[in-house]
Amino acid sequence: MTTIRILDDFTRNQIAAGEVVERPFSVVKELTENSLDAGADRISVELDQGGLAAITVIDNGCGMGEKNLELAFQRHATSKIRCGSDLHRVLTLGFRGEALPSIAAVSRMDFTTKTANVLNGIQIEVVEGVITNKVTTGCPQGSIVVVRDLFFNTPVRKKSMKTPSNEGSLCSEIVAHMALARPGVSFALKNNNRRSFYSPGTGNLIDAIIAVYGVNQAREMIPVDGAGNGVALDGFIGKPSLSRSNRQHINIIINGRYVYCPAAARAVEEAYRTLLPTGRKPVAVLNLIVPPELIDVNVHPAKLEVRLVEENKVIRQITSVLRETLLSPTVIPTRLFDRRNNRQQTLHSQWKAPAATAPKPIQKDNVVAGSTKPHLAVIYNKHGSEGRATEKVVAEAETAGYLNDHCFLPKLTVIGQIGLTYILAAGEGGLYILDQHAAHERVLYEYYQALEEDKPCQGLLQPVTLELDHREAAILTERVFWFNRAGFVLEYFGGSTFLLRGTPPGLTPGREKVFFQDMLKYLGERGASAAYDEFSRQIASSLACRNAVKAGDKLTQPAMEALVKRLSGVKNPYTCPHGRPTLIHLSFRDLEKRFRR
């Protein structure tokens, strides 16, 4: 057996540096966080060769005295906490006492600092963690930290660095994140003497968003604000028209700290469910204020990731506040501009969701005897040369759509159908083109969602045998009450076999087993993070997709009119449950431009 020995300080510092200092952006992050904790409201970052040659951070914070400066380079020395219990109520960005000694262990560092109550400042030189020189010097209040030759004494780590441009872009990204987290602080970043980023530090988050993402993207973002369950939330989120292909634009700031928090990011995505196309991610800059004891910032050496202690409560609050904002008239346009009359017409000022209307039996007649209103809209879908027709109920027109006083769409006059896929309609705002499948999906989805808490059930004439594998049987056993609540009737048959005796209404005969298996697969993919509300929405979305009219279905005029009316009365008439647009709008101005009028 080899002898156990205690490592020397230099080796221990290098090991700690490997955890805390990953690449140049890690240095920028740690030093700017120290500047923020020192109360700075102006921070300048200068890079040479993307930070590989040199990193300089200048701030106007409180600075340090000579004694504190020397202590700052000792392991586990910090002014942020005093005892172990303070770890449960961390109110600063830095607290580990590892940043400066870890950076100094793998670089050559100059540190100049001055407090407000002294005439001269102190400058020290640190090489491989050892203070080699100390002098007094004239300097302004604050700190100037210069880190040179990063990883010069760890050649393997140095070889793993990317190109200077790539390393510089990572540094720019972390400074941008800091600017979003602290809009009251002015950040400036230079790379090879060229300014690459600047935020004004006005204290207004929207100004920081403009600095990071540009004015055009900022125009597509709306404010969000809410509080509940001990959690306060504010910031800006993108309209559904603004989306990206990945999660990088979901910015989560908790108690002033920019963090990677997968649970919070998932909560944001959940709020956009049915509003964005599959594969698209929202844009958001959200600031959460939670009690310090409900967040664990000690789970990652570089403090990049945090853990929420009462995760489900925070997630529900985020999703609830964002969802309420996304379904408000702030997001859904309520005004149209009529250029000819040079006036703005308000289509509505309030909105009230109509009660769900249950589908009625199919009738071949378009008008009920003695009634002056079309009761049922019928679709005639011709298949093949034989001209056989099938009929589906699209929606009722009696209390639907713009027959209500408050709706999100103007009154539309259906012109006709093109390509057996799209409905053309004219309104006071111009020309509207509706995707018949997406529009009907939205109508049915909101109908299924509006049903009672315990969903209705459609009994099967013959039970369907479900032979599940071990994992599927475990999932079903754990979530069987969710299936019952959603309208499934299940009977245990022994082993891993179950009988399906009832399903939610609206399923095509013969498709019950496939539908059940799809829902079981969904729960398996979601795992422990699944919630009943998500499960219910998934069922409603799947039923709506299966039962909606398809592209290629020929619609009668009453059917199109009824569908348009029903669409105008739903909560969100602009996207289908999968986030695709239900309609596009060409204003009179757009048409005039096309015809060069």
Q: How far is 283 from 209, CA to CA, in rounded Å?
A: 11
Sign of CA dihedral 344, 348, 350, 356: negative
Phi, psi of 549 (to 5 degrees): -60, 155
pLDDT per residue as tens digits for the range 331-371: 654 333 333 333 333 333 222 333 334 433 323 233 222 22
Please write down the HEC assignment for all residues of 452-464.
CCCCCCEEEEEEE
N-to-C CA span, the chain:
91
Compute CA distances 339 → 167, 212, 431, 554, whole Å: 51, 35, 14, 35
The 3-state DSSP class for residue 489 equals: strand
Other C-beta atoms closer than 10 Å to the C-beta of 80 total: 15
Q: CA torsion 555→557→559→562, rounded to 10°?
A: 150
pLDDT at 15: 58
- Mean pLDDT computed over every residue of the chain: 79
Residue 312: which pLDDT band, with cuts at 50, 70 and 90? confident
Q: How far is 146 from 162, CA to CA, in rounded Å?
A: 21
Residue 390: which pLDDT band, with cuts at 50, 70 and 90? very low
State the average pLDDT over residues 562-579: 88
Please write down the HEC assignment for all residues of 532-591.
HHHHHHHHHHHHHHHHCCCCCCCECHHHHHHHHHHHCCCCCCCECCCCCECEEEEEHHHH
pLDDT per residue as tens digits for the range 141-153: 999 999 999 998 8
pLDDT per residue as tens digits for the range 438-475: 999 999 998 888 886 667 888 998 999 998 888 888 88
Domain limits, CATH 3.30.1370.100, in the chain:
458-547
Residue 192: which pLDDT band, with cuts at 50, 70 and 90? very high
Lowest mean pLDDT among 39-43, 276-280, 476-480: 276-280
Q: How far is 151 from 95, CA to CA, in rounded Å?
A: 24
Residue 382: which pLDDT band, with cuts at 50, 70 and 90? very low
pLDDT at 398: 39
Residue 588: which pLDDT band, with cuts at 50, 70 and 90? confident
pLDDT at 284: 95
pLDDT per residue as tens digits for the range 151-176: 988 888 888 899 999 999 999 999 99
Query: CATH code for 220-326?
Result: 3.30.230.10
Checking 451-456 for CB contacts under 8 A at 24+ apart, the result is 451/356, 453/485, 454/485, 454/487, 455/485, 455/486, 455/487, 455/504, 455/536, 455/539, 456/487, 456/504, 456/505
Other C-beta atoms closer than 10 Å to the C-beta of 215 total: 10
Residue 260: which pLDDT band, with cuts at 50, 70 and 90? confident
Domain limits, CATH 3.30.565.10, in the chain:
9-199
pLDDT per residue as tens digits for the range 466-524: 988 888 888 898 899 999 988 899 998 888 899 999 998 878 888 899 999 999 988 88
DSSP string, 235-257: EEEE-TT-EESSGGGEEEEETTE
The 3-state DSSP class for residue 338 equals: strand
E strand segments, 192-329: 194-199, 221-228, 231-238, 243-244, 250-254, 257-259, 281-282, 284-289, 295-296, 307-308
Domain limits, CATH 3.30.230.10, in the chain:
220-326
Compute CA distances 236 → 89, 187, 223, 246, 248, whole Å: 27, 20, 4, 18, 15
Domain 9-199, CATH homologous superfamily name and number: Histidine kinase-like ATPase, C-terminal domain (3.30.565.10)
Let me know: does 221 contact 204? Beta carbons within 8 Å: no
Written as one letter, the residue type at 547 is N
Sign of CA dihedral 167, 173, 175, 177: negative
Whether 32 shows a pLDDT value over 80: the answer reads yes
Q: Which CATH number fits domain 359-449+556-594: 3.30.70.141, 3.30.1540.20, 3.40.50.300, 1.10.630.10?
A: 3.30.1540.20
Domain limits, CATH 3.30.1540.20, in the chain:
359-449+556-594
pLDDT at 360: 37
Other C-beta atoms closer than 10 Å to the C-beta of 146 total: 19
User: Residue 171's Cα: distance from chain center in Å?
Assistant: 23
Whether 290 shows a pLDDT value over 50: the answer reads yes
Beta bridge partners of 147: 55, 109
Q: pTM score, two decimals?
A: 0.68
Burial class (CB in 10 A: 0-12, 13-18, 19+), 184: exposed
State the average pLDDT over residues 58-68: 91
The 3-state DSSP class for residue 355 equals: coil
Whether 220 shows a pLDDT value over 50: the answer reads yes
Query: CATH code for 458-547?
Result: 3.30.1370.100
Whether 560 shows a pLDDT value over 50: the answer reads yes
Name the DSSP class of 401: G
